[in-house]
Structure 1
């Protein structure tokens, strides 16, 4: 049985001044190189990405945070060729997340490693309650040595972290979350300061009064009696 390493890793995100360029993402101290590619800019993908790897075609999340995806792999000629082909074959996706080996420019994932990664991503997203997969068939798992599987496991957690970073979570927010599982922004009502009386409207004008009347009904009756007797004098509130 292969050992599993799920140590957290930092994500390094590279943004270009040209908004039309893809977003490059890599996991620090890991071997996975990732690229977040907008569909409209797929034709700008560098030829350096024509290497074996795996990819995820992403649908936009709906208001409940659910989203669709297609998991694929590329061997030869590589990821760039496969993504350009998916522009014609599939119209549901708006972004693609590309994954390749990046520690050494002279090495790439082989066909079996790309297939293993494709299968593990399929299993992972298939179990997620927020995701609907467009794959018709489950990818086949190639046979790898324990050492090869152990090295490829390092790809999985950074990929999930990137999906979360771009708003594609795998599971619904629990009801016990700090925001109650609802919107991240809530309207907060201001609370009165401690030991400070709440101002109220005094009769007959709206002048703030820090001492609430002991018997508001009695004051109203007195004003009514003064009006009936013709002795009521209205005093306008003074501005300070």
Structure 2
């Protein structure tokens, strides 16, 4: 059994000034090179991506955050050829995530490694409660040595990080999440106004009810004279 050595990986995202170009993503200290490709721009994919690797065809998440995916691999002639073929064969996807070996330009994943990665990605997504897989059957991955498996395991966490980055989470948000466990986007309701003082209608319009309403206007000079003479009697305003 191979050793599991998942480690945090810093993602480097490269965006082009041309919005029609794909988004390039790679893990800084790992060997996985990834490319996020919009379906409408698949024909712009560089020929350098015609190498063996694995790929995910992604559906748009629905209002509950669930999304569909198809897991595949490419050997010869490579990922570019396979993705262009999937434009004709599958209509459900809006983005494709391509995965290849990138640490050395002279090396690529071989057919067995691409197949192993395809199978493990399938298993990983099949366990996720937010994903509906379009694959009819589980891909059959070949047997690899422990060392080869260990190196390929390093691909899985960066791939999951990329999916999270683009809004494709694998598990529902917990009930204690700020949005209550629902989709990432939610309608913001106004706060309760139960503790807000009830408005008081006065001749001048609606005002906070912070003091009793004033009674009829009085002759201020007359009141002042009565106070000085000691004959002023306070008359509370009539209740309404």
Q: TM-score, normalised by structure 1?
A: 0.82
Match of 2:231 in 1: none
| Structure 2 residues without counterparts, runs of 5 or longer | 214-235
* Correspondences of 1:1-240 after superposition (within 5 Å): 1-182=1-182, 184-185=185-186, 186-189=188-191, 198=197, 200-201=199-200, 203-206=202-205, 208=207, 211-213=210-212, 222=239
Change (3 A) 1:26 1:210: same
Structure showing greater Rg: 2
- In the TM superposition, what is the alpha-carbon distance from 1:44 to its structure 2 partner? 0.7
| Structure 1 residues without counterparts, runs of 5 or longer | 224-240
Q: Contact 1:200/1:212 (CA < 8 Å) preserved in 2?
A: no
- In the TM superposition, what is the alpha-carbon distance from 1:11 to its structure 2 partner? 0.9
Aligned residue for 1:70, secondary structure, equals strand
Q: CA RMSD in A?
A: 2.5
Aligned residue for 2:205, secondary structure, equals coil
- In the TM superposition, what is the alpha-carbon distance from 1:174 to its structure 2 partner? 1.2
User: C-alpha deviations, 1:139-192, integer Å up to 9, x for none?
Assistant: 112110000000001000010111111111111111111221135453353889
Number of residues of Structure 1 aligned to a counterpart in Structure 2 = 216
User: C-alpha deviations, 1:27-78, integer Å up to 9, x for none?
Assistant: 1101000000111111110000000000001111111111111100001110
- Whole-angstrom distance in 1 between the partners of 2:140 and 2:96: 22
Q: After the TM superposition, which parts of structure 1 deviate over 4 Å for at least 4 consecutive aligned residues?
A: 219-223
- In the TM superposition, what is the alpha-carbon distance from 1:206 to its structure 2 partner? 2.8
Q: TM-score, normalised by structure 2?
A: 0.82
